[in-house]
Amino acid sequence: MSEKMEFQTEVRDLLHLMVHSLYSNKEIFLRELVSNAADALDKLRFLSIANSSLLPAGTELRIDISANDSTKILTIEDNGIGMNKEDLIQNLGTIARSGTKNFMQSITGDAKRDVNLIGQFGVGFYSAFMVASKLEVHSRKAGEEQGFQWVSEGTGDFSIDELPKEKNGTKITIYLKDEDDCRDFSQDWRVKNVVRKYSEFVTHPIYIHSLDKDNNENVERLNEKPAIWRQSAKDLEEKQYKEFYELVSHEGGEPLAWSHNHVEGTQEYWSLLYIPARAPFGVRYASEHSHGLKLYVKRVFIMDDCKELLPNWLRFARGVIDTEDLPLNVSREILQSNKIVANLKKHAIKKILDTLQSVATDRKEDYAKFWIEMGAVLKEGFYMNWEFLDELKNLLRFKSTKTSEKEFVGLEEYVARMPESQKEIYYIIGESLSAVQGSPHLEACKAKGYEVLFLTDAVDEFMMQSLKEFKDKKFHDLALGDLEFEKSKEEENAESENKKTYEKLCEALQKVLSENVSEVRVTSRLKDSPCMLVRAAGGMGAHMEKLMSLQGMEVPKTKRILEINPEHEICKNLLKKAEANEDLGSYPAVLYGQSLLAEGSVLPDPAAFVSAMNKILLSK
Ligand code: ADP
């Protein structure tokens, strides 16, 4: 006997909204129904542990889908726990479950926003009404004899009939609406696509039944691939990890390393994180990049490129995180402010950094290759995060005055090989290796045998603003004019002598160059070059100025200090001229110009420089 019942008010409102809102992502109904079926199978398996008669030996727990293009009917069937009459009424009808209530309370009246809310609350079953003009749920509870059928058109009411069913489980029959984006689901290719997308790693087998043109039924299993991240690492071979990498990365090639984890405790999740051996396409330059992690909830695919799980500076990583603790319908908005997600992100960062560290320690050559391709991306971590600075410092690699062509040096190694007299870590920033390698700023350190790190990535200026020290050794920019080494008494005497001797030349140069430099002074730090430009502490570096002006920003003009080398023949000659009160002619302009060139800066007026230089070349 058929029994008609009213939907509970809130359910009715919900259904109305579901049906009448333009839902852009209708296909998710299939994910919801498959996931409900998988839950029902899990529940039965669980109950059968205590009561083995519920699951006779040899039964395959499975999900069967069939799409019929001629009748426009789609069915999804499972042989799981099933529902009796009370369950059907409770679960699919009258009792507003907490999700429904919360959902309705969150409704704002703005259709566009409200539609997005659907996904946030556990109201999955009803989403079938987005594509269905009528739904039948035929179910028999495991361990009970009687079957029941629930039928509704998604309006005010539903009916329940007794209807014998041969096996336990639930069969949902969807009469597809006569609209393009609903009818589609009667075609097996469409169903296959969606199931493969969302439910590829559901543990229970999902079969699709379709009819060929001679009306023979074909059965195909849709989810062959095991969710390898849920398996124990000891059961997996390297080959399987590599195969799975191809699947998640879509890049092909081999991973550099991976980290496979299962965490239990207040939260339970699995992660399988890969570091690619080669930079994924566009990763280095794109600022609006894709993030490589996929989020799964209870083995069900939720989203690709989940940026909430990974900071920008780890955007080269690939892999999967699968959590038990989020709702299937989790939305982007929820992800952004969710404690569970924040915890997953922290886990991912930590594991990726740990993995990189072990590659850096055990496989130096491989790490060098990684560093060339992705080091600059990792460096962004220095100004975008504060929590993992120590780990990041240990991962840094540099070219230096002491590395050979293929080598890099890390900070640990740098500090270990510092001569005893060296107190700080020296570096120089510039546009390219060739620009910094010839810089006059290196001369003092070279003479002392101190190693100098070369920083030539665009991010380095920014990085150095948060990289202040390593193991109590301060970083020192050689472009600053404050480098002081310990000096012997003789050296000190010679210096103050030079200062006096050169006073006149310094004054004369300063007078001519006053527009460009704040001071001219003698230095003992130059060995081969006649002069260089240094900046006072706090002033902006030449490279930074260039970066800013490249970005069209206004660069505050800070004058630098011109330091001259009293031991250089050019300076000695000029000193004579100054002492004889002779005109210095083109010399000041050429000295200033060559200081800019030597550090890799751009000449403000190349033509003027060339003409000044030609005057000197022509003079006898
Ligand atoms: P949720 O799955 O988030 O609880 P749904 O609206 O999708 O919300 O489903 C409501 C309830 O109906 C489920 O919690 C479950 O008890 C029951 N149910 C749905 N589908 C099935 C099924 N295939 N087999 C058994 N029970 C089901």
Q: What is the per-residue pLDDT across 72-106, written as a single tens digit (0 to 9) for each?
A: 999 999 999 999 999 999 888 865 555 556 656 66
User: Ligand 1 centroid vs 539 CA: distance in angstroms?
Assistant: 65
For residue 302, being part of any structural domain is answered with yes
User: Ligand 1 centroid vs 96 CA: distance in angstroms?
Assistant: 13
**Better-predicted residue by pLDDT, 383 or 467:** 467
Quick check: 21 pLDDT over 70? no
Cβ 80 under 6 angstroms from ligand 1: yes
User: Ligand 1 centroid vs 36 CA: distance in angstroms?
Assistant: 5
Quick check: 113 pLDDT over 90? no
Between CA 41 and CA 34 the distance in angstroms is: 11
Using the 3D structure, point to which of 477, 505, 533 is the last residue of a domain: 477
Structure tokens at 476: 């020192």
- How large is the average pLDDT for residues 20-47? 83
**Better-predicted residue by pLDDT, 18 or 121:** 18
pLDDT digits (tens, 9 = 90+) for 307-327: 899 998 999 999 999 999 998
**Better-predicted residue by pLDDT, 115 or 525:** 525
User: Ligand 1 centroid vs 178 CA: distance in angstroms?
Assistant: 26
User: Ligand 1 centroid vs 91 CA: distance in angstroms?
Assistant: 6
* pLDDT at residue 288, rounded to an integer: 53
DSSP for 115-167, written as a single string: HHHHTTSS-TGGGGGGTEEEEEEEEE-TT---EEEEEE-SSSEEEEEE---SS
Whether residues 443 and 321 fall in one domain: no
Quick check: 71 pLDDT over 90? yes
Do strands 517-522 and 560-564 pair parallel, antiparallel, or not at all (unpaired)? parallel
Residue of 76, 102, 125 best suited for mutating to test ligand 1, as the one with most atoms within 8 Å of CB: 125
Cα–Cα nearest to 231, from 239, 243, 240, 220: 240
Q: By percentage, how much of the chain surpasses pLDDT 70? A: 91
Between CA 144 and CA 94 the distance in angstroms is: 23
Cβ 93 under 6 angstroms from ligand 1: no
Quick check: 268 pLDDT over 90? yes
Whether residues 203 and 320 fall in one domain: no
Cβ 401 under 6 angstroms from ligand 1: no
Residue 606: other Cβ atoms inside 10 A: 11
Whether residues 70 and 116 fall in one domain: yes
**Better-predicted residue by pLDDT, 557 or 6:** 6
- How large is the average pLDDT for residues 328-355? 90
Q: What is the residue type of 597?
A: L
Query: Do residues 398 and 455 lie in contact, with contact meaning Cβ atoms separated by under 8 Å?
Result: yes
User: Ligand 1 centroid vs 316 CA: distance in angstroms?
Assistant: 38
Task: Report the range of poorest mean pLDDT among 5-14, 337-346, 459-468.
Answer: 5-14
* pLDDT at residue 226, rounded to an integer: 79
CATH code at 279? 3.30.230.80
What is each CA distance from 373 to 194, 316, 365, 411, in whole angstroms? Answer: 35, 10, 13, 19
Query: Do residues 379 and 459 lie in contact, with contact meaning Cβ atoms separated by under 8 Å?
Result: yes
Q: Which protein residue's CA is at the shortest distance from atom 20 of ligand 1?
A: 36
- How large is the average pLDDT for residues 479-503? 86
- How large is the average pLDDT for residues 276-290? 72
Average pLDDT, the chain: 88
* pLDDT at residue 211, rounded to an integer: 82
Cβ 169 under 6 angstroms from ligand 1: no
Q: Which protein residue's CA is at the shortest distance from atom 3 of ligand 1?
A: 122
Whether residues 508 and 530 fall in one domain: yes
CATH code at 26? 3.30.565.10
Ligand 1 atom showing the smallest separation from residue 36 Cα: 20
Quick check: 225 pLDDT over 80? no
User: Ligand 1 centroid vs 82 CA: distance in angstroms?
Assistant: 10
Quick check: 127 pLDDT over 90? no
* pLDDT at residue 289, rounded to an integer: 54
Whether residues 254 and 334 fall in one domain: yes
Using the 3D structure, point to which of 221, 256, 280 is the last residue of a domain: 221
Whether residues 200 and 63 fall in one domain: yes
H or E stretch including 369?
helix 364-379
DSSP for 161-214, written as a single string: EE---SSSEEEEEEEE-SSHHHHGGGSHHHHHHHHHHHHTT-SS-EEEEEE-TT
Between CA 75 and CA 64 the distance in angstroms is: 8
pLDDT digits (tens, 9 = 90+) for 131-181: 999 999 999 999 999 999 999 998 889 999 999 999 999 999 999 999 988
- How large is the average pLDDT for residues 230-248? 90
Cβ 445 under 6 angstroms from ligand 1: no
Cβ 123 under 6 angstroms from ligand 1: yes
User: Ligand 1 centroid vs 123 CA: distance in angstroms?
Assistant: 9
**Three-state SS at 5:** strand
User: Ligand 1 centroid vs 259 CA: distance in angstroms?
Assistant: 35
**pLDDT band at residue 191 using 50, 70 and 90 as cut-offs:** very high
Q: Which protein residue's CA is at the shortest distance from atom 21 of ligand 1?
A: 36
Query: Do residues 573 and 505 lie in contact, with contact meaning Cβ atoms separated by under 8 Å?
Result: no
Ligand 1 atom showing the smallest separation from residue 172 Cα: 23
For residue 93, being part of any structural domain is answered with yes
Cβ 34 under 6 angstroms from ligand 1: no
Query: Do residues 439 and 430 lie in contact, with contact meaning Cβ atoms separated by under 8 Å?
Result: yes
For residue 393, being part of any structural domain is answered with no
* pLDDT at residue 265, rounded to an integer: 92
CA angle 226, 78, 133 (to 5 degrees): 115
CATH code at 437? 3.40.50.11260
User: Ligand 1 centroid vs 546 CA: distance in angstroms?
Assistant: 61
Q: Determine the structural domain holding residue 505 and report its residue range.
A: 489-618
Q: Which protein residue's CA is at the shortest distance from atom 4 of ligand 1?
A: 122
Residue the block writes with tokens 């240094």? 534
Ligand 1 atom showing the smallest separation from residue 78 Cα: 23
386-389, long-range: CB < 8 A, 24+ apart? 386/466, 387/346, 387/349, 388/349, 388/350, 388/353, 389/466
Which residues are within 8 A (CB) of 480 and not within 5 positions of it... i.e. 6 or more apart? Answer: 534, 535, 536, 537
CATH code at 512? 1.20.120.790
Cβ 170 under 6 angstroms from ligand 1: yes
Whether residues 516 and 593 fall in one domain: yes
Whether residues 158 and 44 fall in one domain: yes
* pLDDT at residue 599, rounded to an integer: 85
* pLDDT at residue 331, rounded to an integer: 77
Q: Which protein residue's CA is at the shortest distance from atom 9 of ligand 1?
A: 125
Using the 3D structure, point to which of 221, 255, 277 is the last residue of a domain: 221
Hey, which bits of 430-539 come out as E strands?
A: 452-455, 469-470, 473-477, 517-522, 531-534
For residue 403, being part of any structural domain is answered with yes
Query: Do residues 327 and 297 lie in contact, with contact meaning Cβ atoms separated by under 8 Å?
Result: yes
Cβ 438 under 6 angstroms from ligand 1: no
For residue 382, being part of any structural domain is answered with no
For residue 425, being part of any structural domain is answered with yes
Whether residues 60 and 169 fall in one domain: yes
Query: Do residues 467 and 475 lie in contact, with contact meaning Cβ atoms separated by under 8 Å?
Result: yes
Whether residues 522 and 430 fall in one domain: no
Which residues are within 8 A (CB) of 199 and not within 5 positions of it... i.e. 6 or more apart? Answer: 31, 34, 35, 38, 206, 222, 223, 300, 301
Tell me how long the chain is. 620
Whether residues 161 and 253 fall in one domain: no
Show the DSSP H helices in 467-502 as ranges: 489-501
Most confident of 22-26, 121-125, 492-496, 516-520: 516-520
Query: Do residues 31 and 194 lie in contact, with contact meaning Cβ atoms separated by under 8 Å?
Result: yes
Query: Do residues 242 and 273 lie in contact, with contact meaning Cβ atoms separated by under 8 Å?
Result: no
Whether residues 363 and 493 fall in one domain: no
Question: How many structural domains are present in the chain?
Answer: 4
Which residues are within 8 A (CB) of 267 and not within 5 positions of it... i.e. 6 or more apart? Answer: 323, 324, 325, 340, 343
For residue 89, being part of any structural domain is answered with yes
List the end-to-end C-alpha distance of the chain, in Å, as a whole number: 120
Q: How many CA atoms lie within 13 A of 317 on its CB side?
A: 31
- How large is the average pLDDT for residues 40-62? 89
Ligand 1 atom showing the smallest separation from residue 35 Cα: 2
For residue 159, being part of any structural domain is answered with yes
Cβ 32 under 6 angstroms from ligand 1: yes
DSSP for 566-608, written as a single string: TTSHHHHHHHHHHHTT---TTHHHHHHHHHHHHTTPPPS-HHH
* pLDDT at residue 168, rounded to an integer: 97
* pLDDT at residue 238, rounded to an integer: 94
* pLDDT at residue 76, rounded to an integer: 98
Cβ 33 under 6 angstroms from ligand 1: no
Between CA 207 and CA 191 the distance in angstroms is: 11
Task: Report the range of poorest mean pLDDT among 88-97, 349-358, 459-468, 608-617.
Answer: 88-97
Cβ 124 under 6 angstroms from ligand 1: yes
Cβ 37 under 6 angstroms from ligand 1: yes
Quick check: 589 pLDDT over 90? yes
Q: By percentage, how much of the chain surpasses pLDDT 90? A: 59
Residue of 39, 43, 89, 199 best suited for mutating to test ligand 1, as the one with most atoms within 8 Å of CB: 39
* pLDDT at residue 539, rounded to an integer: 67
